[in-house]
């Protein structure tokens, strides 16, 4: 299945997806970033995947950026659009355009800790559990139907770095697995519900 990946930073999940791409029936046609310094662009280059950079700073509105972004995406006719740490709030029009085929990974157990700095916020809130969520993207920030989650224990000695490292380990396992559900045709968005094998998740 043809896919496009959107990134803003390191792209460690992108690397995991690249490593598993054959096994999960995914052909990554392009990697797009809003930051030309994103290390994930180098990861894509090493895998001979076409890359594009589109800075949101060059656009007068969110909608104009999103239109330019969709123009690049649509060159590749992707059946799946994967957000790997893409640090942009997307317009309603953009999310509607790719409804049902856009997946996002978020470092918290949603609906808890939407937004940024999740690891630090979890520690400050003295939570016992933290983790990662993968969900369909809708116009509600980090609020689309949840597909899958993986959790880790929060321990007393955790720093943001140590906690982030354990969460990333789970991310790298879970994201390829969920993408494979989609490429197999088992995962769908129906009436704002994530469905796997015809059952609501």
Determine whether the annotation assigns residue 87 to a binding site: yes
Determine whether the annotation assigns residue 89 to a binding site: yes
Distance of alpha carbon 164 from alpha carbon 98, whole angstroms: 29
Determine whether the annotation assigns residue 179 to a binding site: no
Determine whether the annotation assigns residue 104 to a binding site: yes
State yes or no: is 58 an active-site residue.
no
Mention every residue, 6+ apart, whose C-beta is less than 8 A from residue 107.
Answer: 118, 119, 131, 132, 164, 167, 171
Which 8-state DSSP code applies to residue 39?
H
- Active-site annotation holder among 20, 106, 130, 135: 106
Determine whether the annotation assigns residue 88 to a binding site: yes
Determine whether the annotation assigns residue 13 to a binding site: yes
Q: How far is CA 146 from CA 26, 109, 110, in A?
A: 21, 10, 8
Task: Please spell the DSSP secondary structure of 143-193, one letter per residue.
Answer: -SPEEEEEEEE--TT--HHHHHHHHHHHHHHHHHHHHHHHHTT-EEEETTE
Distance of alpha carbon 158 from alpha carbon 105, whole angstroms: 22
Q: Looking only at Cα atoms, what is the longest distance across the chain?
A: 49
Determine whether the annotation assigns residue 48 to a binding site: no
Distance of alpha carbon 155 from alpha carbon 132, whole angstroms: 17
Q: Whose structure tokens read 């937004």? A: 115
Which residues carry a binding-site annotation for (6R)-10-formyltetrahydrofolate? Answer: 62, 87-90, 104
Q: Which amino acids are annotated as binding site, given as ranges?
A: 11-13, 62, 87-90, 104
Active site residues: 106
């Amino acid at each position: 299945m043809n896919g496009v990946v959107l990134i803003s930073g390191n792209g460690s999940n992108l690397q995991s997806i690249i490593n598993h791409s054959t096994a999960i029936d995914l052909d990554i046609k392009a990697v797009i970033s809003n930051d030309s310094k994103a290390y994930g662009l180098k990861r894509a280059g090493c895998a001979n995947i076409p890359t594009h950079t589109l800075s949101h700073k060059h656009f007068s509105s969110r909608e104009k950026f999103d239109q330019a972004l969709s123009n690049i995406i649509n060159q590749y006719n992707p059946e799946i659009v994967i957000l790997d740490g893409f640090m942009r709030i997307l317009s309603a029009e953009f999310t509607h355009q790719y409804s049902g085929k856009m997946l996002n990974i978020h470092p918290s157990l949603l609906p808890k800790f939407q937004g940024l700095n999740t690891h630090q916020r979890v520690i400050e809130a003295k939570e016992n559990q933290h983790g990662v969520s993968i969900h369909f993207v809708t116009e509600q920030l980090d609020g689309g139907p949840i597909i899958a989650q993986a959790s880790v224990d929060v321990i007393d000695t955790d720093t943001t770095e140590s906690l982030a490292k354990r969460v990333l380990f789970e991310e790298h396992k879970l994201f390829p697995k969920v993408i494979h559900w989609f490429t197999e045709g088992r995962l769908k968005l129906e009436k704002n519900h994530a469905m796997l094998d015809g059952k609501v998740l």
